Amino acid sequence: MEDWSKAEDQRQAEYKQAQAQHEAKPKEEKVLPPPTPAIGEKISTEYFQYIKKERHWQCQEAIIRHAEYGIRAPGLLYGTNYNDDVYLRFTRMSPIVNGDGNKLLAGDEAEAQNAAGTWVGVKYTCTVNVNTLEVRDVFSARGRFTN
Q: Looking at this protein, which amino acid is placed at residue 111?
A: E
Higher per-residue pLDDT: 73 or 27: 73
Rg of the chain over all Cα atoms, to the nearest angstrom: 23
Pairwise CA distance, residues 107 & 91, whole Å: 5
Q: What is the pLDDT of residue 26?
A: 67
Pairwise CA distance, residues 60 & 53, whole Å: 12
Q: What is the pLDDT of residue 12?
A: 78
Span 77-98, pLDDT tens digits: 777 888 878 889 899 999 999 9
Span 106-117, pLDDT tens digits: 999 899 988 898
